[in-house]
Amino acid sequence: MSVANTGEVSVQVVAETPFDAGERRAWAGRAAAYAAGFGRLCAYTVPRLLDAAGVTEGGRVLDAGTGTGTAAAAACARGARVTAVDAEPDMVRSAAAAAPAAAVHLATLPQLPFADGRFDAVVGNFVLNHVGRPRAALAELRRVTRPGGRIALTVWAAPPAPGQALLGRAVQAAGVPRPPDIPALAPEEDFPRTEQGLAELLRTAGGLTEVTCSAVSWEHRTTPEEWWHGPASGVATIGRVVTSQGPAATERIRRHFLELATEFTASDGQLVLPHTALLASGRVAA
């Protein structure tokens, strides 16, 4: 793993979990394919996320797991002084292009190359669900947030909303198993993907006060082609599963996907996919 040299603190590199290693493979070189599909989906929660973290003009903001930089760019547009990090070099390049006013670094949770209390607000849009040690990641996010500062995070709710379950159903219908090199999160690291479960995590592992968590539901409009492109390009865990057994299996999944997608197809041919995320926030004790 390489880390940014921000000149603030030296980061001691610890071994990554098998889950983290799987995540690195799932995102490597996939910024463009992510941006066109899942990235557009994830953008929906960004304004509320920034509100929940209290991102305003002049505030020092960290966007952790910035991906293609959607939240970082939106925070810059609010006049905030933005730093962003991601564990994947391709994402770092993409975020730097999307948010040229931000300082974008390669860095991997749960270790950030920033001094204690460095930020007024920290956001992570659909990142906590991609780290192998969510509790340690939260503790690190709290460390870099100043006393009185705010942290806001989103994760996907489970069980998933029907639109979010679509690709997984296609994989299942095609009889393609999850490959062994895509390990699940260790059970002792997991937490309930419910409003109560995420709020409790922020209170305990994050040590945050004034914690709130609510479900955010919306209908994502896309096309079958756009929705298939990301997974067929190997993006995220679902993409690694979709592409894990070669072109014939991928084609089998695609056929099931198109069949199941008719449940969500509007009269104009677009897919209307209901999704539900959890948005939680809290304050670092002053």
Q: Give the footprint of ligand SAM on this chain (CB under 6 A).
A: 20, 23, 27, 39, 42, 65-68, 70-71, 86-88, 91, 108-109, 125-127, 130-131
Nearest distance, CB of residue 105 and ligand SAM, angstroms = 10
Cα separation of the two ends of the chain: 34
Among residues 174 and 277, whose Cβ is nearest to ligand SAM? Answer: 277
Within 13 Å, how many C-alpha atoms sit on residue 237's CB side? 18
- Nearest-CB residue to ligand SAM? 67
SS3 of residue 106 by DSSP: strand
The two tokens of residue 146 are: 């100043």
Nearest distance, CB of residue 98 and ligand SAM, angstroms = 10
Nearest distance, CB of residue 10 and ligand SAM, angstroms = 18
Residue 176 DSSP one-character state: P
SS3 of residue 217 by DSSP: strand
Within 13 Å, how many C-alpha atoms sit on residue 46's CB side? 21
Among residues 191 and 249, whose Cβ is nearest to ligand SAM? Answer: 191
The two tokens of residue 125 are: 């849009």
SS3 of residue 270 by DSSP: coil
Among residues 16 and 245, whose Cβ is nearest to ligand SAM? Answer: 16
Among residues 134 and 149, whose Cβ is nearest to ligand SAM? Answer: 134
Nearest distance, CB of residue 252 and ligand SAM, angstroms = 26
Which single residue is written with the structure tokens 């979709």? 242
Nearest distance, CB of residue 137 and ligand SAM, angstroms = 7
Among residues 64 and 261, whose Cβ is nearest to ligand SAM? Answer: 64
Among residues 66 and 243, whose Cβ is nearest to ligand SAM? Answer: 66
Q: Where are the beta strands (DSSP E) in the chain?
A: 60-64, 81-86, 103-106, 119-125, 145-156, 208-222, 271-284
Nearest distance, CB of residue 160 and ligand SAM, angstroms = 14
Buried b (16+ CB within 10 A) or exposed e, 176-185: beeeeebbeb
The two tokens of residue 49 are: 């996320």
> Could you give the CA distance from residue 115 to residue 132 in angstroms, rounded to a whole number?
23
Nearest distance, CB of residue 236 and ligand SAM, angstroms = 6
Among residues 239 and 256, whose Cβ is nearest to ligand SAM? Answer: 239
